[in-house]
Amino acid sequence: MFPRTARRLPTTAALLALAGSLTTGAWAAAPRDTAEPHRPARITHVPSAAGSGTPLTGYAVQSTAKVSDSAAAVSSPGYPARGWYPAGPRSTVLAALLANGVYADPFRSTNLQRIPRADFDVPWWYRSDFTVDDTSRRTSLDFSGVVSAADVYVNGRQVASAADVTGTYTHHELDITSLVGPGTNTVAFRIRPNDPHKDLTIGWLDWIQPPPDRNMGLVRDVVVRRGGPVALRDAHVVTRLAVPSLATADLTVKARARNDTDAAVTAEVRGSIGGTAFSRTVSLAAHETKTVTFSPADTPGLHLTDPKVWWPAGMGGQPLYGLDLTATVAGTVSDTAHETFGIRDVRAPLNSDGARQYRVNGRPLLIKGGGWSPDAFLRWDPAYAEDRLKYALDLGLNTLRLEGHLEPDEFFEQADRLGLLVLPGWECCGKWEGEVNGTEKGERWNAADYPVAKASMAAEAARLRGHPSVLSFLIGSDFAPDATIERNYLDALRAADWPTPVVPSASDRPSPELGASGMKMTGPYDWVPPGYWYAKREGGATGFNSETSAGPSIPTLDSLRRMMTPAELDTLWQDPDARQYHRSPSSVFGTLRIYDDALAGRYGTPTSLTDYVRKAQLAQYENVRAQFEAYGRNAGDPDRPATGVIHWMFNSGWTSLHWQLTDRYLDQNGSYFGAKKANEPLHIQYSYDNRSVVVVNNRSAAARGLTARATLFNPDGTQMYDRTATGVTVDGGGAHGATLTLPSSVAGLARTYLLRLVLTDADGTEVSRNVYWLSTRADTLDWNGTTWYHTPTTGYADLKGLASMAPVPVSATAATRSSDGTSTTTVTLRHSGSGTTPALLTDVHLVDAQGKPVLPVRWSDNEVSLWPGESVTLTATYRTAGLHGSAPGVRVSGWNTPERTVPAA
């Protein structure tokens, strides 16, 4: 992840050669800290229909240290798996044990550390039963997602060894026709322990404390496939969209027809896309495979006029097409295939400055994203995943980067529907880059690793190529592959008809064939001041920064009290040098010293946990806002423009104190609302570098007749400066325009002061408001002291004057309406004080009758600032079930606003 310089098929062997809006639908609650125990694994009934694929419904799991029986016995029907733990269909070992209540809440305190790692240094058995009625069909096991390797048995017979079934991403299809009998059948996996420094699998780097089982298990479905003599595999559609007109699109359908018998057969392959049907007769010798292709040259209906084009959210709709294929032999269905795909065009040339500039359907796009983390125990919850994806849209993000941890198919299907772009790739700092990363962790490759890596690339390319949400593939992260590894990856990608740009690395390291990456990985990963982001150097707003943020993101008090003990919370705010278990296992990121020094230096030394958290929210709001605002402003620059930024990270798979815009419980803090403010569709913002006031228009259409107003106040609310610019016009598509520039000095302005920006449309309606807390003494950066993870600050901006702001009452009235499982609470806040002091960063939390946050929730706006006499109306949309039958309440608090809760029924 970080540079440390100054930082589907007959056999595995064949594989090695081949290779909407937030209010739409229901939201799922965040997973409980430990799930309800699984019931004993149900026997999976596998139907006989040709072309069917049935996932195993679950397993019984147990350590080999506790099983003395032979593999033949364990994998035979009727084996008495007494004392084994039931597990779901996709489960690591630890996930299964947590679900069965074996260990305490791993998200709280140091409970995770207390789980014995030695329990997972031996293989574990996974055992599942399935039934079939008709043995005349051919049967195969189809799977990937083994962490890290497995011996596979069916009905007492070994069908594959761990030497072949190795690597999380390799795809395997094992023909078990001769072993399957009528009635109950058994499949068993003996899963080997995982070591991401030795295996081409999954690791956690320095993101979180790694789970003690290192995610060993089966994390994707194991599917039992049934079919006839001819199998259809690798079905996909290659799309060619006319750019820039978007008037036509050519579709080419491909699939492999495979004869699984010892005799020659003739099959008819029929297909359809929408109203276009096509067919072909294919003659296959014994065990022969042929690629069947349909193109506009032989099927005119595959030349589309006025195609339905897929767009990222905010740029257009997300229509999808479906391909259906059927192979018949002697009039009987032998196999079927279905694939969903979208039509779009992605290109990413290097601009004149060498930065990668993405264009979707011919239109340039500033990539605004975050780094995605799965659940720490790789538990797949589709509703929880969708909640997080919708949070990304709520924040105005358009991209999520997956560094390894390539999620199940449903993740990409959700991204397709929602219009979120995804930037997948291999992870750093382990075996994946062990051959090229010098002295970094990760063993160097041996001869067996090269075919595993190529097979991994082939399998993921085949799985991801049809998803219009997939923007690129990064074949390197911190380091680019060498010539041999790159050639293997590119051969696999080309064989799979990979449709989008391939990027050699997420850093600025080139690869032999692809050349320059067009990316930078210059940090920072720890605290820097807001003004840092405006410098066109290091991690500042120029080029494409693939992973960067100001590090720590302290959660809300609600989340902190849920994840840490009272003693740990005392240490959190009192001891900057304390090792924070919920930060990182890394020695670099183990404490909060850099962050805490800045917090005390700028805002004043915290006096309590509450004071620490309230100051943290201001600090995180201003910093995340500045990061996205700087990249947004610089995107249209003629000189060294910003082309992309990935906030490191978007979320955390564990309870964390850093690298997150939303926490594990889906609560929203200053980081969240700072990003939401910066990325609003039509936005007025302040530039820390040159004091300009700029309007950024992320809408498609130009905005005309705008009025921008900038007003400076002392902390007591005394107005010290006011200026208005009228007739402002800003083009759409991310364009920006400067409206006015604030003076370098204003007589009588306090050292700490407030800036209020208001943008109104031609009708006088407020369309954007943005409030900054600033200082006449700027933060001072030591650029010469820059390391791979941050740039030191030698002098802090003085924001201590905020402590002098008088307490301000903010009244709140709220009402709720509910329909079809969704509730909307409308809250009106009013500055009800009699003085001149504004209410700064007023936060509203929706709570249940016990005062617990109702999550997830989508707020129209939040953490707002109000001047005397001002009011604002906010809306919160959430699942009614999140109230657990109680009446809703609204908890209001702020920098200088006393906390109170009002009813919202």
245 CB-contact burial (10 Å; exposed 0-12 / middle 13-18 / buried 19+) = exposed
CB 549, CB 524: distance < 8 Å: yes
Q: How many CB atoms lie within 10 A of CB 198?
A: 15
What Rg value do the Cα atoms of the chain yield, rounded?
Answer: 29
Q: How many CB atoms lie within 10 A of CB 36?
A: 9
Three-state secondary structure string covering 844-880: EEEECCCCCECCCEEECCCCEEECCCCEEEEEEEEEH
Catalytic annotation, pick one of 206, 387, 478, 843: 478
Distance between CA 857 and CA 556 in Å, rounded?
15
Clarify whether 667 is annotated catalytic.
Answer: no
Give the DSSP letter string of 803-842. Answer: GGPPP--EEEEEEEEEETTEEEEEEEEEE--SSS--EEEE
- C-alpha 538: how far from chain center: 24
Contacts of 84 (CB under 8 A, 6+ apart): 60, 61, 62, 125, 127
Q: Find the helix packing angle between 609-634 and 670-678, rounded to 10°.
A: 20
Distance between CA 358 and CA 501 in Å, rounded?
9
Taking CA atoms, 291 is separated from 269, 466, 572, 895, in Å, by: 11, 18, 61, 65
- C-alpha 759: how far from chain center: 32
- C-alpha 52: how far from chain center: 31
Query: Any idea how long the chain is?
Result: 905
Please, how many CA atoms are within 13 Å of residue 650, restricted to the half-sphere of its CB? 31
Q: How many CB atoms lie within 10 A of CB 223?
A: 18
Q: Find the helix packing angle between 382-394 and 409-418, rounded to 10°.
A: 30
Taking CA atoms, 389 is separated from 548, 672, 831, in Å, by: 20, 14, 34
Tokens of 488: 């293997």
H helices of 18-144, where? 71-74, 93-99
- C-alpha 555: how far from chain center: 19
CB 413, CB 464: distance < 8 Å: no
Catalytic annotation, pick one of 206, 547, 680, 843: 547
Query: Which residue from 596, 748, 742, 743 is spatially nearest to 657, judged by alpha carbons?
Result: 596
Clarify whether 478 is annotated catalytic.
Answer: yes
- What does DSSP say about strands 303-305 and 321-329: parallel, antiparallel, or unpaired? unpaired
Distance between CA 48 and CA 161 in Å, rounded?
28
CB 279, CB 268: distance < 8 Å: yes
Three-state secondary structure string covering 751-783: CEEEEEEEEECCCCCEEEEEEEEEECCCCEECH
Write the DSSP symbol of residue 431: G
Distance between CA 844 and CA 860 in Å, rounded?
11
Q: How many CB atoms lie within 10 A of CB 546?
A: 32
SS3 label, residue 393 = helix
Query: Which residue from 581, 684, 588, 561 is spatially nearest to 632, judged by alpha carbons?
Result: 684
Query: Which residue from 142, 153, 166 is spatially nearest to 16, judged by alpha carbons?
Result: 166
Give the DSSP letter string of 42-72. Answer: PPEEPP--TT-EEE---EEEEEGGG--S-HH
Distance between CA 403 and CA 423 in Å, rounded?
8
Query: Which residue from 184, 185, 189 is spatially nearest to 62, judged by alpha carbons?
Result: 189
Which residues form the catalytic set?
478, 547
